[in-house]
């Protein structure tokens, strides 16, 4: 993976193998935070809401990377506001 910093955010270029590893990591993060948020709901609801939102965000990013990976990897363009676009290479 290579990363290029810009004034509005950054561009990360993933190879096919790096994309597969990142998708697996994002999926694990998504499930872990969602389950943790569900369990924490009875103790501290604000934490639960944050965990579920961040888990959903990671799951969606991983899914977009998986869908756009055609065996050549992907490029993730992300702004500082965490708005992203995933394109295949």
In the chain, the percentage of residues whose pLDDT exceeds 70 is 100
What span, in angstroms and rounded, lies between the C-alpha atoms of 75 and 70? Answer: 12
Question: What average pLDDT score do residues 33-42 get?
Answer: 86
What span, in angstroms and rounded, lies between the C-alpha atoms of 23 and 82? Answer: 17
Q: How many CA atoms lie within 13 A of 44 on its CB side?
A: 6
Q: The pTM is what?
A: 0.88
β-bridge pairing 84-88 and 9-14: unpaired
What span, in angstroms and rounded, lies between the C-alpha atoms of 15 and 69? Answer: 9
What pLDDT is recorded for position 88? 96
Lowest mean pLDDT among 1-10, 41-50, 66-75: 41-50
């Amino acid at each position: 993976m290579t990363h290029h910093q810009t004034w509005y955010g950054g561009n990360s270029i993933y190879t096919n193998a790096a994309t597969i590893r990142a998708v697996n990591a994002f999926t694990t993060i998504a499930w872990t935070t969602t389950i943790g948020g569900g369990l924490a709901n009875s103790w501290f609801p604000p934490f639960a809401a944050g965990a579920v939102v961040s888990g959903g965000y990671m799951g969606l990013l991983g899914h977009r990377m998986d869908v756009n990976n055609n065996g050549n990897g992907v490029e993730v363009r992300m702004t500082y506001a965490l708005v992203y676009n995933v394109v295949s290479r």
